[in-house]
Amino acid sequence: MAPLRLRHPNGTSTIQVALDSDDFTVGDLQQEIYGITQILPSQQILKSGYPPQSLTLIPELPISSLGLKNGEQIIVSQDTSAARRAETRASASTRALPATRSELLSLLSGSTGTGAVASTTQSSSTAGVNGPDFVETDTGFLIHRVVPDDNSCLFSAVSLVFEQGIEKAQQMRQIVAEGIKKDPETYNEAILGMTPSKYIETITKPSTWGGAIELQILANHYRTEIASIDVETGRVDHFSPPGDSSTNRCILIYSGIHYDAATLAPTVDAPNDWHESIFTVRGEDKVDPVIKAATKLGGLLRQKKAFTNTSTFDLKCEQCGKGLKGEKEARAHAAATGHVKFGEY
């Protein structure tokens, strides 16, 4: 990960991005900037270099297409003419357009999106024919532990690995709230996308999803790395306590819209209290046996199409019936029509 400095209308910020990754796109960068500035991707003007030159923004291309360097400064401004056009097109709607994946998913149920997400879509996780999916290891079986698809999946999955059950999912939300209160310098309005008090009010509601911010706070609280396996891509996202010196980690499985957990048991049908959920870090991802097994488990789920790609999934506008492909077309349709309620085929 490499730092990029942002100079924007609200001040200055620093973000960490994977400049050499083909999986991190220009669109992903724009979404990061949106989260800090609240300037819609379609209205962003980005400049870098000296003298500053406008960057050509093609959302689908990898971030390497921009030629950015480690530590480089990006000047962010808003295309006010584009903003006015968007406001005119959306004048029939009293809600904000779905500018982010979070907002789009919240529109699937017609709910109000803020910084986190409310979801009514079904879990993409699938179990094996006779039980949960699993991968055999030298010391047992790494088992896919499915948690309910009830808008608290992240908190349930974290509760399962740290508290041996999903019953303390709401307590995980309170830990996040306390983490934000205790570290206002890190978790400020620019990072949260809203005032800390508003974010706390939102994230403590059972109907609200969590994401990277919540995983980092929970990793800090338990002083244990949370490794999240992305089913679709096989990517491993590491959320490590300060100093990145944790010797322990746990495993979550992410389907694109849902989090589950993975735990190690001596047999596939072992009682829950026999499962090991915290593991000793044993090296880089390529050699760590638990990460290797978790990646293999993610591949097994990928073969079963147990993930949701929000860029390509099929949607239907529930106000006019128009069929749409992915969040990009949904955003464009909402901008053009003011329609803000979608369903997934």
Is-contact 70 64, C-beta < 8 A? no
Secondary structure element (H or E) that encloses residue 16, with its range = strand 11-17
Q: With contact defined as beta carbons under 8 Å apart, do 90 and 83 qualify?
A: no
Residue 246 CA, distance from chain mean position: 22
User: SS3 helix, strand, coil % of the chain, rounded to 5?
Assistant: 35, 25, 45
Please state, in angstroms and rounded to a whole number, the distance separating the CA atoms of residues 258 and 87.
32
Its sign, for the CA torsion 82, 84, 87, 91, is negative
For residues 30 and 45, give the distance between their C-alpha atoms in angstroms, rounded to a whole number.
10
Using omega within 30 degrees of 0 as the cis cutoff, is the peptide bond preceding 51 cis? yes
153: annotated active-site residue: yes
Find, among 77, 12, 85, 68, the residue nearest to 46 by Cα. 77
Alpha-carbon gap, residue 115 to 226, rounded angstroms: 21
The residue from 28, 79, 150, 221 that is catalytic is: 150
The single residue of 8, 144, 258, 275 carrying the catalytic annotation is 258
| Tokens read off for 74 | 């990006």
The verdict on whether 258 is a catalytic residue reads: yes
Strand 73-78 and strand 140-145: the pairing is: unpaired
| 238: annotated active-site residue | no
- Options 8, 149, 153, 317, the catalytic residue: 153
- Give the CA distances from residue 59 to residues 64, 84, 97, 218, in Å, rounded to whole numbers and listed in that order: 12, 22, 18, 31
End-to-end C-alpha distance for the chain, whole angstroms: 36
d(CA 100, CA 33): 11
Supply the residues annotated as catalytic: 150, 153, 258, 339
